[in-house]
Chain A
Amino acid sequence: MSFIKAIRWMVWKDLITEMRSRETLVSMLFFALIVILVFSFSFSMDHQAARELLAGIIWVAFAFTGIIGLGKSFLAELHNDCLEYLQMSPAPKGAIYLGKMTANFLFMLLAEVVLFPLFIIFFNLDVVEEIWILLVVFLLATEGLAAVGTLFSALTVQIRAREVMLPVLLLPMVIPVMIAAVESTRGALNGEPFALYSQWFHLLGVFDLIFTVVSYWLFELILDT
């Protein structure tokens, strides 16, 4: 089985499973909705304060939603010993990682694309001009979260207290992604010139590159028997 084909089958398998159960996406969306509501109650924001805080709120909501999705990613494989079949399968381990990462990336991105209009409605945003910049931020930051998150999801799925361990391990590691995403989102929402926050795009790009390669290389050790 060729490398690309293995990746495609992994993604296809996850998408099919998700389409049949709709478990991950539905729980992610409802969780994020609740996060948005709780934030809007606890800050009781006017229009001006919202602009300052909103970038942070958006990314906290996205990160926690992402963790829900990432946690479920390998949990589904535990049923019926699917994980062991993955370990035994002749497909390259790297391809399994890339497939899982792509699937997680798609789920998280889908959730973000559904949620962001809700933010626009709830907080009266005006983002017509910056929508493409924001989309690039979402793509890059979600890739970074998915790259480290998929590795850590596989790392924590077989241990006790996995629900606690995934965020405890993941959140300190993705602090650069969070800072870069929040800063560039804030810049875009405030309508600042692109040059002022373009440095964060470099940071996101470097982080994505490094951690996709490192996780790709280390994933083999986790699926080892």
Chain B
Amino acid sequence: MIHRIIKQIQRYKGWVGAGAAVCLLTGTYLGLIASPPDYYQGEVVRIMYVHVPLAHTALLAYTVVFAGSIWYLWKRDRLIDNMCHAAAGLGFLFTGLALITGSIWAKPTWNTWWTWDPRLVSFAILFLILAGYLMLRTFLTEDPDRESRYAAVLAIVGFIDLPIIHFSVEWWRTLHQPLSISTRGVSISGELLLPLTIMSIGFHLLFAYMLMVRTQLLYLDELLQAKKGRLLTQMHLSRSQTSP
């Protein structure tokens, strides 16, 4: 059944991609040209329109990895595993970009590239966990079944750990020094909300589109490998039959 659903979804892939492109181009136009600068932050507030959606999309990507891992362990479907692998790769990319844009945003607003803010630290740890996930998968390629199983176990442990990490870092920071610079909440007025919403929709559509493309890529790759393997076995068999 799942294959039929995915086939249905893949039919609309082009529309998702086009929607993402339209939303991102409009969002960039609104964010960079049409929207006014923020009263307190000035022009740099425009970084928010890419930074916040990137961070949300990264969290969405990890949620997809987690849900997909549970689903894989339940149904043992190769396609679901390819989706987890794809979402992890994309989550790694989006987390990295969210960290970079956050750092660029922090420099003009707080005059520092990095602070030990709980959210920043949690994101850096998320980045490390996803890097470990991808490393585990690259080191385990000999046995695809075991690779997916181990990766799913790792993803589940990491996802459960993430809120605990966030809380512990938050406690740790409030204990040591009260945050000298307020890292909480830019007050978002209506004029800023419109480009933010459109960019957010755009990044989520972009993630969906990239997830489809990457899942397809990994699936085709595996298919080609499997067929090559089968061909080799067949050649091997036929040769051993013909030779005396």
Contact = CB atoms under 8 A, between A and B. Distances in A.
Q: Is A bound to B?
A: yes
Interface stretch (B89-97, B163-171, B182-190): B163-171
Contacts of B139: 159-161, 165
Contact of B149 (A148, A156, A222): A222
Interface in A69-89: none
A203 interface: yes
Nearest to A197: B175
Contact of B154 (A161, A169, A200, A206): A169
B161 A168 contact: no
B108 interface: no
Interface in A134-187: 148, 151, 155-156, 158-161, 165, 168-169, 172-173, 175-176, 179-180, 183
Contact of A172 (B125, B149, B150, B175): B125
B158 interface: yes
A24 interface: no
Contacts of B165: 172, 175-176
Contacts of A159: 136, 139-140, 150
A17 interface: no
Given A161-B139, A206-B164, A175 B125 contact: yes
B232 to A, nearest CB: 23
Interface stretch (B17-25, B46-54, B59-67, B127-135): B127-135
A202 to B, nearest CB: 10
B168 A221 contact: no
A19 interface: no
A154 B158 CA distance: 16
B226 interface: no
A210 B160 contact: yes
Contact count band on A = 20 to 34
Nearest to A174: B161
B32 interface: no
A125 B157 CA distance: 37
Contacts of B218: none
B15 interface: no
Contact of A183 (B128, B129, B175): B175
Interface residues of B, number: 29
A172 B128 contact: yes
B194 interface: no
B161 A179 contact: no
A76 to B, nearest CB: 20
A168 B131 CA distance: 9
Given A180-B168, A210-B164, A169 B175 contact: no
B223 interface: no
B168 A176 contact: yes
B153 A155 contact: yes
A173 B160 CA distance: 10
A169 B133 CA distance: 8
Contacts of B73: 221
A214 interface: yes
Nearest to B132: A169
Interface in B68-112: 73
B116 to A, nearest CB: 12
B128 A179 contact: no
Contacts of A200: 171
A169 B125 CA distance: 11
Contacts of A207: 164
Interface of B: 73, 125, 128-129, 131-132, 135-136, 139-140, 146, 149-150, 152-154, 156-158, 160-161, 164-165, 167-169, 171-172, 175
